[in-house]
Structure 1
Amino acid sequence: MNAGIIGAGKLGSALAIALSKAGFCICGIYSKSEESCQLLCRKLNIDVANNLGTVVRKSDVIFVCLPDNDIENMALRIASHFEPELIRSKVFFHVSGALTTEVLKPLENLGAFTGSFHPIQTFADRENGWEKLYDCFFGFEGCNEAGECAETIVGRLNGRLIFISKEHKPLYHAAACIISNYTVTLFHIMFKMLIRTGMNEDAAVNAFMPLLKNTVDNIEGLGYISALTGPISRGDHKVVEQHLKSLSYEIPEVEDIYRLLGRETVDIALKKGNLNEEDVLRLNGVLGNKG
């Protein structure tokens, strides 16, 4: 299968390398950055021009690995600049987690098979990001023909495909953002709190990183409900009250975040079976009941 890549950023590059190692032929690359295109060519040990026409003409399946705001414009550009016979029956994927195949409608109207092909993974490392695409889950939304193609590709990557309905795509992506992006945000909040205690930056990171890693291990090994520990899990409302008093004085902008997360944590602790009715009432009283 001949594959083309539009967008040679972190994800586009990782995808191209992973596909190449899985036996697919990368026959075309197009990037707004000539440097990024040539860097990817060197990694793939191929010699192709940075040319959109080459991607469209030679590829059976084309991955649009662009920022969300640019995907629809690229679909319109391809639909208006190339003959319909070059588009018909080819598979076009975009890799956005948030957008549906509606942004590829101009290509679908010309007979292309379209789908969204979203790796449920994070790609901060440009050099070794391709490794994360193996044994990975992928969210898919699109037509049956594109789905069959996606299953073939994912199978070669030893991954699994999850089918997402069009109407649930934003909720699916919001979930991904919460667990990935907002974990970074929570680490940032923790960092600010520890710096306020007088801890230096290295200690703040190094001392608490094992706690974060072990929490993730516990979620994976025990399930997220059994992995819960801490004062709310124990029903210790007095400790929670102390936390809130300290936050109110030291970092008041974090207090509402603590209360919101605390109320959700009460629900988890209740499912775990650690709390009785009195514990729940006291904790919710301290945290503020849900409105």
Structure 2
Amino acid sequence: MVIPTANSLPARPTLGFIGAGRVARALAKAASDAGYRVEVVASRRIESAQHIASTLPECAVLPLERPGDMHAIFSRADLIFLTVSDDALADCAAHLAPQAGQALVHCSGASEVGLLAPATRSGGQIGGFHPLFLFAGLDDDAARLSGSAITIEAEAPLNEILQRFASDIGCRPLSIPAGERMRYHAGANYAASFLLCLLDEATHLWKAVGLPESDAREAMWPLVMGTLNAARERGLSGALAGPVSRGDAGIVTRHTEALAAMGGNHATLYSLLTLRAIHLARQRPNADNAALDAIARTVAPYIPPATPERDA
């Protein structure tokens, strides 16, 4: 447990936000619901800041007409979450100087915490706090955030304070080492935006055989949700279904031939994903490696030479 001193953050700090978008809206509401005081929301978009503040008890709004205006936020709160775009992080850090006993934390998954280093010149701490959650801008985002993982990067004592805050809002804190945010964030894209891209590919193929797009999209949801539920219960390799899981090289051959006939990169995308399915299938007990080798040979002609199966 952190024991507060004159030079350390309180164990339960007062909070502020710079940036008034979806992330700030959900985190501020979740924090308030967990008993934290959100003292101030600062933004150039005054109406957005006012909207967030109106949902919180006694929360002030700080208009940001000039970059230098944002430093005043540290007269109102101990811990400031920087919920602006990645491109704006470094510029914001140059205009902020938390004192000892205060902290500035960004909520980006892709930007290194080191971007905030200029803000440490007056003795304050810096950190990263990235929710693995799709902020949809909906009224229930704060409630749906509960149960999500949040990756934290900070030195003591800020690290412990952020870990506690994540737990208090119903989330699971994780840690990542400095310098690894690019690979971490790329991985997050596969579980979020790239998943949507795969569903778009499925929709495209179903439209190509004559299914109306609305019917195709409705038809996929039981399949998608059934797959996700199975993966959660049995693990990724345990939930794997389809021709690769059965070792059916013949079906994979016919799939790739049909997709190649369409032109474009449909067969390549299918083949690259098939390599990943082979990787999962090999993790199963009693995997038929000879059949999986045959499937790998089947898709090899459609895969760029720099993508061997061993990289899967």
TM-score by length of 1: 0.93
Counterpart of 1:263 in structure 2 is 275
Counterpart of 1:272 in structure 2 is 284
Is structure 2 residue 94 aligned with structure 1 residue 76?
A: yes
Distance 1:273 1:54 in 2: 60
Q: Is the 1:234–1:275 Cα contact (8 Å) retained in structure 2?
A: no
TM-superposed CA distance for 1:54, in Å, is 4.7
Q: Is the 1:234–1:274 Cα contact (8 Å) retained in structure 2?
A: no
Aligned residues: 285
Counterpart of 2:102 in structure 1 is 90
Is structure 2 residue 75 aligned with structure 1 residue 63?
A: no
Counterpart of 2:5 in structure 1 is none
Distance 1:107 1:89 in 2: 13
Counterpart of 1:32 in structure 2 is 44
Distance 2:172 2:88 in 1: 27
Distance 2:209 2:55 in 1: 46
TM-superposed CA distance for 1:251, in Å, is 4.6
TM-superposed CA distance for 1:135, in Å, is 2.5
User: Is the deviation greater in 57-66 or in 159-168?
Assistant: 159-168
Distance 2:134 2:73 in 1: 26
Unaligned runs of 5+ in 2: 1-12, 64-69
Distance 2:61 2:107 in 1: 23
Distance 2:174 2:258 in 1: 43
**SS at structure 2 position matched to 1:62:** strand
Q: Is the 2:244–2:292 Cα contact (8 Å) retained in structure 1?
A: no
Question: What is the 5 A alignment of 1:123-162?
Answer: 123-162=135-174
Q: Is the 1:41–1:48 Cα contact (8 Å) retained in structure 2?
A: yes
Which residue type is aligned with residue 137 of structure 1? A
Which residue type is aligned with residue 21 of structure 1? D
Q: Is the 1:27–1:55 Cα contact (8 Å) retained in structure 2?
A: no
**Aligned CA distance change for structure 1 residues 30 and 267 (closer, same or farther; 3 Å):** same
Q: Is the 1:235–1:283 Cα contact (8 Å) retained in structure 2?
A: yes
TM-superposed CA distance for 1:143, in Å, is 1.2
Q: Is the 1:28–1:54 Cα contact (8 Å) retained in structure 2?
A: no
TM-score by length of 2: 0.87
**Aligned CA distance change for structure 1 residues 249 and 24 (closer, same or farther; 3 Å):** same
Distance 2:195 2:263 in 1: 19
Distance 1:255 1:123 in 2: 33
**SS at structure 2 position matched to 1:110:** coil
Which residue type is aligned with residue 87 of structure 2? N
Q: Is the 2:40–2:59 Cα contact (8 Å) retained in structure 1?
A: no
Counterpart of 2:7 in structure 1 is none
Unaligned runs of 5+ in 1: 80-85
**Aligned CA distance change for structure 1 residues 126 and 53 (closer, same or farther; 3 Å):** farther
User: Is the deviation greater in 124-133 or in 3-12?
Assistant: 124-133
Name the one with the larger helix percent: 1
User: Is the deviation greater in 187-196 or in 265-274?
Assistant: 265-274
**SS at structure 2 position matched to 1:161:** strand
TM-superposed CA distance for 1:155, in Å, is 2.5
Distance 2:210 2:153 in 1: 49
Is structure 2 residue 298 aligned with structure 1 residue 286?
A: yes
1:162-219: per-residue Cα shift (whole Å, max 9, x none)? 1110122221111111111100111111111111111011110111111001111011
Q: Is the 1:136–1:160 Cα contact (8 Å) retained in structure 2?
A: yes
Q: Which of 204, 212, 228 is residue 192 of structure 1 equivalent to? A: 204
Counterpart of 2:245 in structure 1 is 233
1:27-62: per-residue Cα shift (whole Å, max 9, x none)? 111112111111112222545233435522110110
